[in-house]
Amino acid sequence: MIEKNLLQQVGKTGRAMHAAFEATVGIPLPRWRIMLAIFENGESAQKDLAALLAMDPGLLTRQLKQMEIEGIVKRESALEDNRITRVQLTAKGARMVAAAQPLRQSFFEKALEGLPVEKLAAAMEILETLEARFKR
């Protein structure tokens, strides 16, 4: 029998959260993160967006190409340097973000409902410590 540990549980919990988020909000969490970043920051260079999201640039490109096909984002080369791809939400994308924000807020409230503040603070401290270790 394999003994479970905290890191395995974090992975399992993360996968469950992704599925529940998509079921509640209607947008897969990785796509939501991209859309929200563009919504909050405005037009962005794709390279800057990848850094902001700490996301693999190739994965981001694949996501953005599909989102462009669906009319959610618009991508175009920068006039000053055609090696730079600029990304912005379309009107459809902006409407999707606006409609999903209350669902997202409700998702977080229900997920954390009833959990003691001190336990949430301890969990955040542990997760932030692990993140810092992994980044080293």
Query: pLDDT band at residue 4, thresholds of 50, 70 and 90?
Result: confident
**Average pLDDT of the chain, as a whole number:** 94
**pLDDT of 126 strictly over 80:** yes
Place of tokens 């794709």: 46
What structural domains and CATH numbers belong to the chain?
Answer: 6-135 (1.10.10.10)
The pTM of this model reads: 0.87
As a whole number of angstroms, the longest Cα–Cα distance in the chain is: 59
Mean pLDDT of 57-71: 96
> Whole-angstrom Cα distance, residue 104 to residue 13?
17
How many helices (H) and strands (E) the chain has is answered by 6, 3
The CA-based angle 6-9-10, given to 5 degrees, is: 85
Please give the pLDDT value at position 81: 86
pLDDT of residue 87: 97
